[in-house]
Amino acid sequence: MSEVIIPYSKARDQLPTFTAINCLNKKWPYNWIGHTATIYDDKLTGQKQIFESTTLNKSTGISGVQMSPFGSWLANYPGKVFARVPKFGDSSPEANAIRELLAAEFIKEHLGTSYPDLKSRTGWLKLIMAALDFNWRGKDLFTYKGNDKGEFCTELFIKILQYCGLFGSYVYAHEFKPDDIRGEKSDFEDRLVNMMYLPEIQLK
């Protein structure tokens, strides 16, 4: 089955703030892990920015939480890129303005935050336990209880949704992994508040 790829030039205007970006890198082990990011639509400049946390962005030479122009990021990403567009229960100008303001606040507070420390046992444990799902009587038995303050990609994505009132605040953000956001079988969709995500489209 051939892949249907929508050119960024055609999709650009349909990608608002909170669009979920899901990636599959060509190289191992990143093609197994996946990557999650989100878009921030800067109303002042008209530029689409990608907000993400990564071990290393080779284009910028920066690790941790960062923001880059989405168009150039997309052109340079070494793999497949998918987008899921959000639809909000309240899409009034007032509600949209509040969400945009909260998103900007969150981004300002988190830019520069480190990625989990992969030189430490607890940093690796945080990533491993996010990938392991074993629920028993409504509880995930592999819940990370360590003290690593770094934020990995899907954790950051869930946290910005929580901060903006779009995702259950009672949920551990570090319990989610990239595959959960792609619409595959998980409880991600059930935790959304006053919003939903459309099926993904491929941008690259």
**Per-residue confidence (pLDDT) for residue 67, from 0 to 100:** 96
Residue 121: what pLDDT? Answer: 66
Residue 97 has a pLDDT of 95
Q: What is the pLDDT of residue 160?
A: 98
The pLDDT score that the predictor gives to residue 26 is 85
Total residue count of the chain as it appears in this document: 204
- Which pLDDT score is estimated for 144? 56
pLDDT of res. 1: 46
Tens digit of pLDDT at every position of the chain (204 positions)? 458 999 999 999 999 999 999 999 887 656 667 899 999 999 889 999 999 999 877 777 788 999 999 999 999 999 999 999 999 999 999 999 999 999 999 999 999 998 876 676 665 556 655 665 655 555 555 665 667 678 899 999 999 999 999 999 888 888 898 999 998 667 899 999 999 999 999 999
Using an 8 Å Cβ cutoff, are 38 and 100 in contact?
A: no
| Residue 148 structure tokens | 């690593």
The domain ranges of the chain are 8-202
| 8-202 has CATH 3.90.1720.10 classification | yes
The overall pTM is greater than 0.85: yes
Angle at 107 between CA 6 and CA 113, to 5 degrees: 110
